[in-house]
Amino acid sequence: MNILFSVQPAPGADPPATHGASVEISYARNDRVTEPVRLELDSQLKGSVRLENASSTLLQASVLDAGGSALLSRTISADGNRNAVLTLWIADVALIKNGRC
């Protein structure tokens, strides 16, 4: 199955104009290989990518700073329409803005 993975700030979580933030998504593929995919976020902390040949609806997503260090990590499950959304809450956006855990 293919999963559409998206990142977006929650309503009220005003993202700073930033650059260099990315998300690394790890997921199991049909060939039993865990595949990491990196997604660069835009200045509004939004982005999406299609994850192909997923064998499970569970994904591990880590928001990375410009140097590649993990700022936060979440396990996300795709819904029945094969969409998975990482919502960045106000505290998450502040963490990304400050660039530290």
Q: How far is the C-alpha of 24 from the C-alpha of 85, rounded, in Å?
A: 13
Please report which helix (H) or strand (E) contains residue 96, including its range.
Answer: helix 90-98
Q: Give the CATH superfamily of 3-98.
A: Carboxypeptidase-like, regulatory domain (2.60.40.1120)
| Nearest by Cα to 85 from 21, 1, 23 | 23
Domain boundaries, the chain: 3-98
Predicted local distance difference test score (pLDDT) of residue 19: 64
Partnered with residue 37 across adjacent β-strands are 25
pLDDT in tens, 18-42: 666 899 999 999 888 887 999 999 9
pLDDT, the chain, mean: 90
